Chain A
Amino acid sequence: MTAQTRLKRKDTQQTSSGLRKRKLVDFIATSVVTTGGIGIILSILAILVFIGIQSVPLFQGVKSELVSSFIIKESPELSSYSLDSPDKASFPFIATGVEEYREIGFIVTRDGIVTFLSLKDGKTIKKVPLTKLDGSKITSSFVSVNNKLYSFGTDDGFILPVRMNYKIDFVGDKRVITPKITEGDLFKLGDAPLIKIAYEESEEEGGSAAAAYTSGGELLFVTLVEPEDDFGDSEPEHLAYNFTEELHGNTVTAIELDQSLENLFVGTKNGKIYHWDLSDKKSPEFLRAIDATESPDTAITALAFLLGDRSLLVGDEAGNVSVWFEVPDKLSPTGDVLTRIHQLSPFELPVTNITASARDRGFIASDKGGNINLYHATSAQKLKELKADGSSIEKLTFAPKANGIVAIDKEGKMYNWSVDNPHPETNLKTLFGKVWYEGYQKPEYVWQSTGGTDEFEPKLSLTPLAFGTIKGAIYALFFAIPISIFGAICVSQFMHPSFRNTIKPVIETMAALPTVVLGFLAGLWLAPIIEKIIPAVFTVPIVLTIFTLISVFIWHYVPRGIKGRFKIGSELFLLLPVIILGILVSLWLNQPIESAMFGGDYKEWFYTVLGLQYDQRNSLIVGFVMGFAVIPIIFTISEDALSSVPKHLTAGSLALGANRWQTAMRVVLPTASPGISSAVMIGLGRAIGETMIVLMATGNTPILDWSIFNGFRALSANIAVEIPEAPEGGTLYRVLFLSALLLFFFTFFINTIAEIVRHRLRKKYGQL
């Protein structure tokens, strides 16, 4: 073997191993690029999926499950109670409750013994007698909406308030709950047994009040008022009233007293609701009686306050459940009238209990046939139906966190349901429709996500925000479309290409101008200036048109020799001083116009004559500045469309004797119109998504008003303002994700259409 051949072989070996290596590298590169490319594109698209997933739980229904049920009778301590008596009054269990972890519940019996039991299996944990009862029997009970204060009426005319407290300890990781009972001071109302009672303690002002209906048919009201100059030694004042007279002999079936101790509602057997105003403790006032059921034969069977104590929930013998609150009414002497706001989907049998949630505007109601419904008051919806074994639900309680329901039926069976209802207040209707909120005169679209108190109900209507977004975008386009499209026509058709090459980059660069700068200028510089010169702002277009007209006229008579020295289109630059002059003239006219037409003060004139309020940061400012922000986009894209219209078309038109305006309007514009409309759509997309300008240049008030002198709140600015305050996973958080999803879809949809249109146009140009 010669050295040469050896060398050659080595070379081929090297090449083949090198080739293998190269192929391997190529293979790896291909797979990396492919998987990486697909991965990146998918992950970008996953943004949409993620945002969607975040907002889906808003529309998921309530999940509920029967965790446990047991017959109380089987518990050795409670088995002695007789359930056989047909008389409801002798049902042995007078009250029931549950603590916030839903591990321990309790039952109070007529003989004044509180039995804590495990909700898992009904085993007794602790038995505590109520010592202050001193042998008297319990005849009635009342639960305050915060689920902590229970009160019991006795057969000798006392009310005993009792607080249930739970001490929570951790032994290692295990939670140990120790129940504790605190008995309050006995409250004396009379001597007769109390059949129906209501008792509340005011947390803010101190003091307490009780109302009771006795077996003798008397309606009594007693209140303890804390002395005003409290030096600690004076006793609270004890004020007692008898309201029996106002009842006109009707039998009371339900009593409800609010926590601020200002309103007493009494439901009767003939379907009336009696309302007392207690705000002046010295002289409580009977306001009125209202027919609350369909016929006088239908008794009211349950009354309860919704969280916040403004809405009254009413259940009747016919199975109807309704929500009432006071609405301003001119005919009423007090200015307000109790009105039925929502009629909820009814039961077939009489309502036995209504209990409100301590968390939101939800509540539960039960009927004689063992049905329990979970409602949401504001959205007037039945969220969930639960079924017990079929006998009447006698006692019903809502867990403190509104995540469970405990009920006892007539057979002495106790049920323990879990409720998973994270977003009770949202559905398509509350998000987009009109909702009648507490304290409002009529159903309205409201966005008000946070309030001062715990009892505040978030009002999350996206309608005013979507409206604001559209309002801003429309005003912006109203300003931007004529200027940008006219500008594009001018540059592409009537000017020498050399101008195009300088003007276009300048305007394109403006597209990248940070919008925060524009927003700042709009809010802090432009808004105060515009406020002073509103009349001038509206005269500018007119004055400019007139001035342009005049300059065309003058130009018409300029000698040809001078005209010829101008490069095509450069004569239009002569308009620059004309426009400046026009603006100055408008400014100069500002004051004369204001005094001539608006009586010297346009704001007052707008207010008195047109009924318009002028906000300093308003839609006019936004329209102007956001218009300025979208002009470059619309300009660039439509200029592209216009200037790529094939030259032979325009040349043909001009050759046939059409002038340049006719050619532009009848040949170029129709051909390029899809491109221009896609430009407008892309501009619209940008105006819709713009955040900083609308955040800084409007007052961000979510109102529904087309007035150009009012501000608005847009979806995008709303997200920026509210997301830092929204707890993760909460309703507000998810609603904000939903609004982001809306924005995403809307802009994506618009842009896709615009893109497809442009695509078609490019093809069309290719064929022309």
Chain B
Amino acid sequence: MNKFWKSGDLFVWLTGAALMFSLLMIAGLMYLILAKGLGFFWPSDVAELDLQNGSKLMGEIIAQEKVPSKGEGIPDEYRTQLKIGNRDLYGLDFRWVDDEEIESISYPKYAVVLERQEWGNMYGFIKEITENRQVISQGNEASWPVLESLMPVYAKIEAEIKAIEKGDIGGINRQIESYRLKIRGLELKGGDNQAQTQEYESKIKEEEEKYKVEEKKLSVLYKEFNKDKIVMVSVDGREKEMSIGNIVRAFRPNSMNWFQKASLYTSRAWGFVSEYPREANTEGGVFPAIFGTVLMVILMSIVVLPFGVLAALYLSEYAKQGTLVRFIRICVNNLAGVPSIVFGIFAVGFFIYGLGHTIDSFFYQEALPNPTFGTGGILWASLTLALLTVPVVIVATEEGLAAVPSEIRHGSIALGATKFETTWKIVIPSAMPSILTGLILAIARATGEVAPLMITGVVKLAPQLPVDGYFPYVHLERKFMHLGFHIYDVGFQSPNVEAAKPMVFTTALLLILIVIVLNLTAIIIRNRLKKKYTTSAV
């Protein structure tokens, strides 16, 4: 026994236990997010619960849990959580049912799930479909094909309406606003601008005429849009009429086979990344958030790459190596460890209140007191992240520059190349993989960062994307949506957290995948690079 103790194996195993525990935590985390995130799109069966008191419930079974025992000897009880949807009828999406109250559970073949623009999911049966108040089909069996054939028609009308509302009318409003600002600008300038002002005013009138035309088109379309109605019956017999245009997706999970479910799964997953959010971000897709994240990262890269490389070049190639440079290097290194919120508050003070207000007072005076750049926006957020990640790029680039053997440099200079030529044509190309690694790490860090963004321009719901078809195409002053902030906002600020949870898990999965893929790329590049130098050194 003494020998066993002395061998230290016990402690070795304890360190092993610590390692295994952390690996287990990582695996558990990934499993949790994958399971919860990927399961979100799978159309689960719709259960009908007959309760002992005679009432009926219908919905997706979400969870089951043990109710704490009421005392010694009493057997444990279980309860089941049901997503009953039909928020417009019941008010609540979820319900807990004690298992002992349940008489029986069945899965009716005709149970229909409707994903709707408003009020969330509907679970029920089809009673009838009407066209201009004339019943065209009745009952589940007959109405389903009708509904399936009508859905694409309405998708098309909806697309047309969206095109007019966002495109044409949006453009007209933008024109009117720009003329208004011009008039205001003339007013501010002072002096006699009567003629110009009148010209703009007449132009505004023209646009308003156009607006009326578009509005008429819209009202025709809307009439069309509301032509067909579907009457649904919930399991407890309540009827609900809605226009078919309100339905995003309709399916009958209980009568679908595995293949149909898989294709629906794909369609919902695609919808998640390509659609706009609905119902205060708790439903629909996250397309604007993905778009905002990507654009912000691109803008950040445009800034951070040249500046980071320049600073690194200076530090390792041009500056005289000494205590000062060493000190600066340590400082730069440490900036990477400074809390991101510090950069955020700096950006609020310097970019938004400092630079932004100055820009506004010089170039956007006519829009005041509404701030243009004097408030959070994608430009400021990108610059903040650029500041935050520039140390990452500097450090990585410096590492790469240091790894370039000095013989190569000496050779180049001995052959008559200038220092710039050596750096530009010999050193930088060899250090390129390191620079890329730095950039990727910077992007990975920027993608996952939320705290500085939520005070510099990220919003829960941005009405417009920062890029559109109107001059100057990229609108740097606009606020934007971001995946990370989406998680925070939907998970913590939304009124219906329970209903939004699966959505948050999926967003989290998406974000983690992006970050991990970026990091793995960086690691792979780094490893290749190491191999390259080890071979070249031989």
Check B420–A26 contact: CB distance below 8 A.
yes
Contact with B along A564-581 (1 / 0, CB 8 A): 000001001101101110
Expressed in whole angstroms, the minimum distance between the Cβ of B259 and any Cβ of chain A is: 32
Expressed in whole angstroms, the minimum distance between the Cβ of B1 and any Cβ of chain A is: 10
Check B319–A37 contact: CB distance below 8 A.
yes
If the complex has contacts A483-B21, A573-B20, are A520 and B337 also in contact, measured as CB distance less than 8 A? no
Kindly state the separation between the CA atoms of A549 and B9 in the bound complex, as whole angstroms.
10
Q: Chain A residues near B516 (CB, 8 Å)?
A: 509, 512
**B220 interface residue, CB < 8 Å from A?**
no
**B403 interface residue, CB < 8 Å from A?**
no
Contact with A along B288-330 (1 / 0, CB 8 A): 0000000000000000000100110111011100000000101
Expressed in whole angstroms, the minimum distance between the Cβ of B325 and any Cβ of chain A is: 10
Expressed in whole angstroms, the minimum distance between the Cβ of B420 and any Cβ of chain A is: 4
Q: Is the interface of A mostly helix, strand, loop or mixed?
A: helix
Q: Chain B residues near A487 (CB, 8 Å)?
A: 15, 18-19, 22
Q: Scan residues 496-541 of chain A and give those whose CB is less than 8 A from a CB of chain B.
A: 503, 505-510, 512-517, 519-521, 523-525
Partner of A512, one of B19, B32, B445: B445
Q: Chain B residues near A505 (CB, 8 Å)?
A: 520, 523
**A468 interface residue, CB < 8 Å from B?**
no
Q: Chain B residues near A494 (CB, 8 Å)?
A: 12, 15-16
If the complex has contacts A44-B387, A494-B15, A507-B22, are A37 and B310 also in contact, measured as CB distance less than 8 A? yes
Expressed in whole angstroms, the minimum distance between the Cβ of B340 and any Cβ of chain A is: 7
**A474 interface residue, CB < 8 Å from B?**
no
Check B338–A512 contact: CB distance below 8 A.
no
Q: Chain B residues near A451 (CB, 8 Å)?
A: none
If the complex has contacts A33-B318, A556-B9, are A755 and B339 also in contact, measured as CB distance less than 8 A? no
Check B512–A514 contact: CB distance below 8 A.
yes
Among residues of A, the one whose C-beta sits closest to the C-beta of B319 is A37
Kindly state the separation between the CA atoms of A467 and B112 in the bound complex, as whole angstroms.
55
Check B17–A716 contact: CB distance below 8 A.
no
Check B341–A523 contact: CB distance below 8 A.
no
Q: Which of A246-254, A314-322, A746-754 contacts B (4 or more CB under 8 A)?
A: A746-754
Among residues of B, the one whose C-beta sits closest to the C-beta of A511 is B519
**A23 interface residue, CB < 8 Å from B?**
yes
**A490 interface residue, CB < 8 Å from B?**
yes
Kindly state the separation between the CA atoms of A553 and B13 in the bound complex, as whole angstroms.
10
The size of the chain B interface, using a CB distance under 8 A, is 95
Q: Which of B318, B342, B516, B523 has the most CB of A within 10 A?
A: B342
Q: Scan residues 678-713 of chain A and give those whose CB is less than 8 A from a CB of chain B.
A: 682, 685-686, 688-692, 695-696
Q: Scan residues 736-768 of chain A and give those whose CB is less than 8 A from a CB of chain B.
A: 736-737, 740, 743-744, 747-748, 750-752, 755-756, 759
**B499 interface residue, CB < 8 Å from A?**
no
Check B488–A519 contact: CB distance below 8 A.
yes
Expressed in whole angstroms, the minimum distance between the Cβ of A82 and any Cβ of chain B is: 53
Check A40–B348 contact: CB distance below 8 A.
no
Contact with A along B22-35 (1 / 0, CB 8 A): 11111001001100
Check A686–B337 contact: CB distance below 8 A.
yes
Check B8–A662 contact: CB distance below 8 A.
yes
**B39 interface residue, CB < 8 Å from A?**
no
Q: Chain A residues near B340 (CB, 8 Å)?
A: 689, 691
Kindly state the separation between the CA atoms of A524 and B421 in the bound complex, as whole angstroms.
56
Check A556–B4 contact: CB distance below 8 A.
yes
**B491 interface residue, CB < 8 Å from A?**
yes
Check A691–B451 contact: CB distance below 8 A.
yes
Q: Chain A residues near B163 (CB, 8 Å)?
A: none
If the complex has contacts A483-B21, A523-B491, A545-B14, are A50 and B445 also in contact, measured as CB distance less than 8 A? no
Check B314–A516 contact: CB distance below 8 A.
no
Check A516–B444 contact: CB distance below 8 A.
no
Check A486–B15 contact: CB distance below 8 A.
yes
Check A696–B488 contact: CB distance below 8 A.
yes
Check B8–A659 contact: CB distance below 8 A.
yes
If the complex has contacts A490-B18, A520-B488, are A510 and B26 also in contact, measured as CB distance less than 8 A? yes
Q: Which of A47, A508, A737 has the most CB of B within 10 A?
A: A47
Among residues of B, the one whose C-beta sits closest to the C-beta of A510 is B26
Q: Which of A157-165, A325-333, A719-727 contacts B (4 or more CB under 8 A)?
A: A719-727
Q: Chain B residues near A549 (CB, 8 Å)?
A: 10
Expressed in whole angstroms, the minimum distance between the Cβ of B40 and any Cβ of chain A is: 14
Check B488–A743 contact: CB distance below 8 A.
no
Among residues of B, the one whose C-beta sits closest to the C-beta of A693 is B451
If the complex has contacts A661-B11, A747-B339, are A524 and B504 also in contact, measured as CB distance less than 8 A? yes
Q: Which of B318, B423, B451 has the most CB of A within 10 A?
A: B451
If the complex has contacts A36-B314, A517-B512, A548-B17, are A507 and B26 also in contact, measured as CB distance less than 8 A? yes
Check B339–A690 contact: CB distance below 8 A.
yes
Expressed in whole angstroms, the minimum distance between the Cβ of A236 and any Cβ of chain B is: 43
Kindly state the separation between the CA atoms of A545 and B13 in the bound complex, as whole angstroms.
10
If the complex has contacts A30-B318, A487-B18, A514-B447, are A661 and B339 also in contact, measured as CB distance less than 8 A? no
Contact with B along A28-56 (1 / 0, CB 8 A): 01101110111011001101001100100
Contact with B along A464-499 (1 / 0, CB 8 A): 000000000000000000111011011100100000
Check A572–B420 contact: CB distance below 8 A.
no
If the complex has contacts A23-B418, A692-B450, are A575 and B22 also in contact, measured as CB distance less than 8 A? no
Check B24–A22 contact: CB distance below 8 A.
no
Check B515–A720 contact: CB distance below 8 A.
no
Kindly state the separation between the CA atoms of A409 and B343 in the bound complex, as whole angstroms.
53
Q: Chain B residues near A417 (CB, 8 Å)?
A: none
Check A26–B419 contact: CB distance below 8 A.
yes
Check A685–B20 contact: CB distance below 8 A.
no
Among residues of B, the one whose C-beta sits closest to the C-beta of A487 is B19
Q: Chain B residues near A22 (CB, 8 Å)?
A: 418, 421
**B335 interface residue, CB < 8 Å from A?**
yes
Check B346–A575 contact: CB distance below 8 A.
no
Contact with A along B521-534 (1 / 0, CB 8 A): 00100000000000
Check A736–B345 contact: CB distance below 8 A.
yes
Kindly state the separation between the CA atoms of A61 and B419 in the bound complex, as whole angstroms.
54
Among residues of A, the one whose C-beta sits closest to the C-beta of B325 is A41
Check A44–B332 contact: CB distance below 8 A.
yes
Expressed in whole angstroms, the minimum distance between the Cβ of A476 and any Cβ of chain B is: 14
Kindly state the separation between the CA atoms of A716 and B344 in the bound complex, as whole angstroms.
10
Check A486–B420 contact: CB distance below 8 A.
no
Kindly state the separation between the CA atoms of A548 and B497 in the bound complex, as whole angstroms.
40
Expressed in whole angstroms, the minimum distance between the Cβ of B300 and any Cβ of chain A is: 15
Q: Chain A residues near B487 (CB, 8 Å)?
A: 516-517, 520
Q: Chain B residues near A515 (CB, 8 Å)?
A: 448, 450
Partner of B25, one of A544, A578, A628: A628
Kindly state the separation between the CA atoms of A579 and B14 in the bound complex, as whole angstroms.
11
Kindly state the separation between the CA atoms of A686 and B18 in the bound complex, as whole angstroms.
21
Kindly state the separation between the CA atoms of A688 and B339 in the bound complex, as whole angstroms.
8
Among residues of B, the one whose C-beta sits closest to the C-beta of A576 is B20
Contact with A along B476-487 (1 / 0, CB 8 A): 000000001101
Q: Scan residues 85-119 of chain B and give those whose CB is less than 8 A from a CB of chain A.
A: none
Q: Chain A residues near B331 (CB, 8 Å)?
A: 45, 752
Among residues of A, the one whose C-beta sits closest to the C-beta of B500 is A524
Among residues of A, the one whose C-beta sits closest to the C-beta of B518 is A512
Kindly state the separation between the CA atoms of A221 and B497 in the bound complex, as whole angstroms.
57
Kindly state the separation between the CA atoms of A44 and B387 in the bound complex, as whole angstroms.
7
Kindly state the separation between the CA atoms of A660 and B21 in the bound complex, as whole angstroms.
22
Check A548–B310 contact: CB distance below 8 A.
no
Check A631–B17 contact: CB distance below 8 A.
no
Expressed in whole angstroms, the minimum distance between the Cβ of A748 and any Cβ of chain B is: 6
Q: What are 19 of the A-B contact pairs (CB < 8 Å)?
A: A22-B421, A41-B311, A484-B18, A486-B17, A490-B15, A512-B441, A514-B450, A517-B448, A517-B508, A520-B492, A523-B492, A524-B497, A548-B16, A591-B69, A660-B8, A685-B337, A740-B346, A747-B334, A755-B334
Residues of A within 8 A of B (CB): 22-23, 25-26, 29-30, 32-34, 36-38, 40-41, 44-45, 47, 50-51, 54, 482-484, 486-487, 489-491, 494, 503, 505-510, 512-517, 519-521, 523-525, 544-545, 548-549, 551-553, 555-556, 569, 572-573, 575-576, 578-580, 591, 595, 628, 631, 635, 659-662, 665, 682, 685-686, 688-692, 695-696, 716, 719-720, 723-724, 728, 736-737, 740, 743-744, 747-748, 750-752, 755-756, 759
